């Protein structure tokens, strides 16, 4: 994956983006206020580089943290926690199935972007879209989250 273009965001666009992130994740976005924001296009993805790091990417018209962004910002909202048995599947890009989920934020609605973390260390493994409300994910059957970006994929290995 190669970056096709990089353009610094205007202050008004940056402030709007920060407000959007803050509305989803709360105060964690505050630490980005003094950072330099750039838009970057790679293949079919639109990214936001924060101080040169790919911390946000676009999902269905909304910007959401990459796995590296979730790690750096230590985000704890819109989170789905998987057990250790699911980790090897998640890091290979598999969708997240209900039997592997041990906890999910009850505020998650169908279609919401979510962060998938592992139970033992609480580290982000993937980013996905909820296929059902968070309260229905634990102890259910079927797919709960469609995986979009995960540790080890092209976006994770992107060289800036």
CA distance 25 to 114: 11
Domain boundary assignment for the chain: 3-73, 79-150
CB atoms within 10 A of CB 63: 19
Record: fold of 79-150: 2.30.130
Residue-level pLDDT at 22: 78
Q: How far apart are CA 96 and CA 94, in angstroms?
A: 6
Domain 3-73, classified CATH 3.40.50.880, yes or no: no
In the predicted structure, residue 1 carries a pLDDT above the cut 70: no
Q: Is 115 helix (H, G, I), strand (E, B) or coil?
A: strand
What is this structure's pTM?
0.87
Q: Counting Cβ atoms within 10 Å, is residue 19 exposed (0-12), middle (13-18) or buried (19+)?
A: exposed
- pLDDT tens track for 27-64: 777 778 888 899 888 877 788 888 888 888 887 777 88
């Amino acid at each position: 994956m190669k970056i096709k273009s990089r353009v610094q965001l205007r202050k008004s666009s940056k402030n709007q983006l920060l407000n959007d992130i803050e509305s989803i994740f709360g105060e964690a976005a505050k630490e980005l206020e003094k950072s330099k924001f750039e838009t970057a296009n790679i293949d079919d993805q639109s990214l936001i580089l924060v101080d040169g790091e790919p911390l946000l990417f676009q999902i269905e018209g909304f910007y959401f943290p990459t796995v590296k962004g979730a790690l750096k910002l230590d985000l704890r909202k819109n989170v789905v926690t998987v057990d250790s048995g699911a980790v090897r599947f998640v890091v290979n890009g598999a969708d997240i199935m209900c039997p592997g989920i041990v906890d999910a934020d009850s505020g998650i609605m169908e279609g919401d972007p979510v962060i998938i973390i592992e139970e033992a260390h609480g580290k982000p493994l993937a980013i996905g879209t909820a296929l059902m409300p968070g309260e229905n994910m634990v102890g259910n059957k079927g797919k709960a989250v469609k995986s979009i970006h995960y540790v080890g994929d092209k976006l994770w290995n992107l060289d800036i």
